[in-house]
Amino acid sequence: MDKFLITGGLPLSGRVVVSGAKNSALPCMAAAVLTPETVTLHNVPYVRDCLTQRRLLEDLGATVLVPELRTHKITATPIELFEAPYELVKTMRASVLALGPLLARFGKAKVSLPGGCAIGTRPIDLHLEGLKALGAEVTLEAGDVVARAPKRGRLRGGEMHFEKVTVTGTENLLMAATLAEGKTVLHNAAREPEVSDLAELLNRMGARVRGAGSPTITIEGVEALGGAEHTIIPDRIETGTFLIAAAITGGELEIKDCVPEHSGIVIAHLREAGVEIEEVNQSTLRVRRSSKGLVARDVVTEPHPRFPTDMQAQYMALMTQAEGRSMITETIFENRFMHASEMQRMGAQIHIDGRIATVEGPTQLMGARVQASDLRASACLVLAGLAASGETIIDRVYHIDRGYEKIEMKLRALGADIERLKESEV
Ligand code: EPZ
C-alpha cells in the first residue's frame, strides 16, 4: 500500500486548479442509468471512487467511453444486470445510488446492503422508506436490498419527509421520482450543491425537478428521459482543503476553477479564525494566513449550508496551530474523530469527549508515522504533515486517492516536499 513521505515546515505558494466534485460526479454517473441515450459528463475527477462507479455501470451493461480523462460518455443500454454486488458496495457505499435509477427505469433493483464504515454505521433506512413511499416493494434477502416497482412496473409519485437530512438518500429519491407516475414531494431534503448539480443534469435529460437546493423538492414524473451533456461542479471540499493548506503552512495560494459561493460557510469560519481570503472573481480565491496569526474558533458540523462534516478533520488540523481553545462538534457521523489520535502522535493537544473534540493551540507538530482511516482523515494528516517539523509518513493513502485527484502532485507544484512511496520503498 502506498504511503506519503512529507517533510514539513515549507510555506506553500502558487496557483492550484480545483477538480470536479466527486460527490456530484457519482450521482450524475448513476443518473445515466435512467435513459438508453448517451449522457456526456465533463469535469469528472480522476479519482478512485469514480473509477469504481464506472466499473459498476459497465457491470450493469452500460458503455462508458472516456474520450478525454475527465469526460465520460455513458450509454446505459442494454442493461442486463440490475444489481450492485457486495464486492463493489463494500468498497464504495455510493454504489447504493444505482438503486433509484434501476428501480425507476426497469422496475427492479438489487443492491448489497452497505455495512458500516470507519466514520459511522451509516444505515440507508431513509432511502428505502422513500422508495416505499413511491410504491416500491422492498425486502432484505441474504444481505441484499431487493426492490420491485408495483405490479404495472412503474413507481408512483408520493411524499417523503426525511426524518434526517441525507444527501444520497435525497439523490436516490430524486432520480427514482423522475420516471414515476405523477408528482413527488421531498421534504427536509438535502440542500448540498451536489444535489442541485444532479437536479440540473436531470432537467437537461428532460426531467421536471423544482426546488433543488431548498428543503422542499418537487418532481413531476415523465414517461422517459433522454441524453444530455453536463459539466460537473468544482469540488468545494477540495477547495476548502487547499484554503487550509495555505493557512496551516503560512503560505499564499490562488485557488482556480472553484465556486466561492459553495464554500461560503467554510470561508466565513476561516476568516474568523484569522485566514485572509479574497474572492478574486467568481471562480478564483486568494488565501493567506493573517499577519496577526490564527485564533481558535469553535465549529459545529451540520447539513449544507452549515459547516460541512467533510471539512471537520481538515479544520481540526488548522486549530492545532491556532491561539487558544477550540471546540469541534461533529453532529453528522458518530465516529469521525479517528484523525485526532493520529495527530496526538504528532504532539497535538486534543481531547475527545463523545462528539466534541477540544483542541488547545498552538502546538508545534512533530513529524511521525501515522495512519489514515478514511478519506477526509487522510487529508487532515497531509495538512498536519505539511505544518509539522521533520518527516511524517502517512500509511494507507489509498483513502485519499478515493476523493482527491493527484493531491501530492498538486502540492509539490506549490512547493511542498511530499512524495508517494510504494510498498517496496519503505
Ligand atoms: C454524503 O454521504 C457524502 N457522500 C459524504 O461524503 C458526506 O460526509 C455526507 O453526505 C454528509 O454530508 C457522497 O455524497 C457520496 P448522509 P451520505 O446520508 O449520503 C444518517 C466524503 O468524505 N442516515 O447525508 O452517505 C447517516 O448515518 C463522504 O466525500 C440515516 O440514518 O451521508 C448520517 O448520520 C464521506 N439513514 C446522516 O444521516 C439513512 O438512510 C447523514 O448521512 C441515510 C443517512
Report which of 394, 408, 407 is spatially closest to residue 2, judged by C-alpha positions.
Answer: 394
Angle between helices 22-31 and 167-177 (to 10 degrees): 20
- CB contact at 8 A, 131 and 173: yes
User: Which amino acid is located at 280 in the chain?
Assistant: V
Residue 339 Cα to ligand 1 middle (Å): 19
Res 120 pLDDT > 90: no
Three-state DSSP state, 170: helix
Query: pLDDT-based confidence at 85, cuts 50/70/90?
Result: confident
Query: pLDDT-based confidence at 145, cuts 50/70/90?
Result: very high
User: What is the β-pairing status of strands 217-220 and 252-256?
Assistant: unpaired
User: What pLDDT does residue 425 have?
Assistant: 66
Burial of 149 (0-12, 13-18, 19+ CB in 10 A): buried
Q: Where are the extended beta strands (E) located within 91-168? A: 108-112, 137-141, 144-148, 159-161
Query: pLDDT-based confidence at 119, cuts 50/70/90?
Result: confident
Res 150 pLDDT > 90: no
Cell 491556532: give the residue: 322
Q: Where are the extended beta strands (E) located within 263-335? A: 275-281, 284-289, 299-301, 324-330
User: What pLDDT does residue 117 have?
Assistant: 81
Residue of 19, 22, 23 to test ligand 1 pocket, by largest number of atoms within 8 Å of CB:
23
**What is the distance between the alpha carbons of residues 346 and 177, in angstroms, rounded to a whole number?**
49
Three-state DSSP state, 84: strand
**What is the distance between the alpha carbons of residues 96 and 83, in angstroms, rounded to a whole number?**
10
Res 152 pLDDT > 90: no
- Tens of pLDDT along 86-103? 898 888 999 999 999 999
What are the residues whose beta carbons fall under 8 Å from the beta carbon of 142, sequence distance 6 or more? none
Enumerate residues lining ligand 1, CB below 6 A.
Answer: 23, 26, 93-94, 120, 122-127, 164, 166-169, 309-310, 332-333, 375-376, 403
The one catalytic residue among 50, 117, 258, 380: 117
Angle between helices 125-133 and 167-177 (to 10 degrees): 20
User: What pLDDT does residue 47 have?
Assistant: 97
- Tens of pLDDT along 370-405? 999 999 999 999 999 999 999 999 999 999 999 999
Angle between helices 312-319 and 236-249 (to 10 degrees): 10
Q: State yes or no: is 258 an active-site residue.
A: no
Residue of 99, 124, 160, 164 to test ligand 1 pocket, by largest number of atoms within 8 Å of CB:
164
**What is the distance between the alpha carbons of residues 379 and 195, in angstroms, rounded to a whole number?**
23
- Overall average pLDDT of the 125-153 stretch: 93
User: What pLDDT does residue 114 have?
Assistant: 87
Res 208 pLDDT > 80: yes
- CB contact at 8 A, 122 and 336: no
Report the number of secondary-structure helices (H) and strands (E) in the chain: 14, 24
Distance of alpha carbon 44 from the chain centroid: 13
Report which of 1, 41, 2, 3 is spatially closest to residue 22, judged by C-alpha positions.
Answer: 41
C-alpha cell of residue 65: 467511453
- Overall average pLDDT of the 224-247 stretch: 98
